C-alpha cells in the first residue's frame, strides 16, 4: 500500500530538548516536504526536498532542520524546541514536476511545554 | 495574510443540498489543488487543475479553475454526510512551493 509514515503520532516534550520526527515513503518519490498546521493559518511549508541531498527552505523554516540522505526518508529535527513550535506537523511526498504534495502522512501532534 | 483566501470558512448544510466553496487569490498559479482532510488525518488530494478555465468532475464534485488562474471553486451536488470534512485549496507558483488556504469546514447533516 502506498503510504507516507510519520512517527511518532503524538509527542509531548519540554523546551530545549532536541527531538526528531521521522517520515518515510514507500513510493520512490523524489519530492518530500514538511508542513505545520495551526488553527486559522492553514498549512505552512517548513522545508522541502527535490531529491536526495537537495533541500530548501519553505515559508517558516526557523527553528527546524531537515536532511535527505536517502530517497525514502526525510526527518524533521527540532534542535531546541520552544512552545511556539507546538503544532500539528505533516510530511508529504510526490513524484515532482507538479505532482508534489500528492500523499500526506497522518500527522504528528507536538506539544512543547 | 493568506495568499489564498477560502470562503466561506464554515458551511453547514442538510443532506441532499448543494454547496460551493471558493478559493481566491491576487496571484497567478501554474496549478491549483484541492484536498479534503478529516479529523486526525492528513489531507487527501482530490484533484489538480492546471489550465485556465479547466473544469474537472469527480463523481458529485466539480472543480473549476478560473480563466486567469487566480481562483478556483469546488461544487458538491447532493451532498452526503460522507462529504463532511475540511476542504483545502493550494496553489502552486512557478517554483515548487505550494501555498494553502486556511480551509473551509463543511458539515453535512443527515
For the segment A37-93, what is each residue's pLDDT rounded down to a tens digit? 998 888 999 999 989 999 999 889 999 999 999 999 999 999 999 999 999 999 999
- Asked if pLDDT for residue B3 goes beyond 90, the answer is no
Distance between CA atoms of residues A31 and A96, nearest Å: 5
Q: How far is A17 from chain B (nearest CA, A)?
A: 26
Give, in order, the Cα–Cα distances in Å from A56 to each of A26, A68, A89, B20, B91: 22, 11, 17, 35, 18
- Asked if pLDDT for residue B1 goes beyond 70, the answer is no
Predicted pLDDT at A98: 61
- Mean pLDDT within B22-28: 93
Distance between CA atoms of residues B103 and A87, nearest Å: 17
- Asked if pLDDT for residue B49 goes beyond 60, the answer is yes
- Mean pLDDT within B80-108: 90
Predicted pLDDT at A96: 67
Q: Please check whether residue A92 is in contact with residue A101, taking contact to mean a CB–CB distance below 8 angstroms.
A: yes
- pLDDT band per the 50, 70, 90 thresholds, residue B94: low
Q: How far is A54 from chain B (nearest CA, A)?
A: 13
- Asked if pLDDT for residue A1 goes beyond 80, the answer is yes
Pairwise CB contact (< 8 Å): A106 & B40: yes
Pairwise CB contact (< 8 Å): A45 & B2: no
- pLDDT band per the 50, 70, 90 thresholds, residue A5: very high
Nearest CA in chain A to B31: A98
Q: Please check whether residue A100 is in contact with residue A33, taking contact to mean a CB–CB distance below 8 angstroms.
A: yes
Residues shown for chain B: 110
Q: Please check whether residue B73 is in contact with residue B63, taking contact to mean a CB–CB distance below 8 angstroms.
A: yes
Distance between CA atoms of residues B91 and B94, nearest Å: 10
Of residues A105, A112, A111, A113, the one with CA closest to residue A43? A105
Q: Which three cell numbers stand for residue B86?
A: 475540511
Please, which residues bridge with residue A76 across strands?
A21, A66
- Mean pLDDT within A24-43: 92
Mean of per-residue pLDDT scores for chain B? 92
Predicted pLDDT at A4: 96
Predicted pLDDT at B93: 78
Amino acid at each position: 500500500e502506498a503510504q507516507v509514515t510519520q512517527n511518532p503520532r503524538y509527542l509531548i516534550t519540554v523546551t530545549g530538548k532536541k527531538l526528531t520526527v521521522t517520515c518515510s515513503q514507500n513510493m520512490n518519490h523524489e519530492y518530500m516536504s514538511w508542513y505545520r498546521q495551526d488553527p486559522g493559518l492553514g498549512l505552512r511549508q517548513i522545508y522541502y526536498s527535490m531529491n536526495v541531498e537537495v533541500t530548501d527552505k519553505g515559508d517558516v523554516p526557523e527553528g527546524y532542520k531537515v536532511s535527505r540522505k536517502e530517497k525514502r526518508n526525510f526527518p524533521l529535527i527540532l534542535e531546541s524546541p520552544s512552545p511556539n513550535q507546538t503544532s500539528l506537523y505533516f510530511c508529504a511526498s510526490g513524484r515532482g514536476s507538479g505532482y508534489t504534495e500528492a500523499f500526506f502522512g497522518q500527522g504528528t501532534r507536538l506539544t512543547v511545554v | 495574510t493568506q495568499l489564498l483566501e477560502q470562503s466561506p470558512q464554515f458551511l453547514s448544510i442538510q443532506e441532499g443540498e448543494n454547496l460551493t466553496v471558493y478559493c481566491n487569490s491576487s496571484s497567478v498559479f501554474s496549478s491549483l489543488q484541492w484536498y479534503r482532510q478529516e479529523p486526525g488525518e492528513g489531507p487527501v488530494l482530490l484533484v489538480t487543475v492546471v489550465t485556465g478555465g479547466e473544469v474537472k468532475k469527480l463523481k458529485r464534485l466539480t472543480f473549476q479553475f478560473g480563466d486567469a488562474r487566480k481562483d478556483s471553486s469546488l461544487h458538491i451536488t447532493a451532498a452526503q454526510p460522507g462529504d463532511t470534512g475540511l476542504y483545502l485549496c493550494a496553489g502552486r507558483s512557478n517554483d515548487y512551493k505550494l501555498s494553502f488556504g486556511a480551509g473551509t469546514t463543511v458539515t453535512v447533516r443527515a
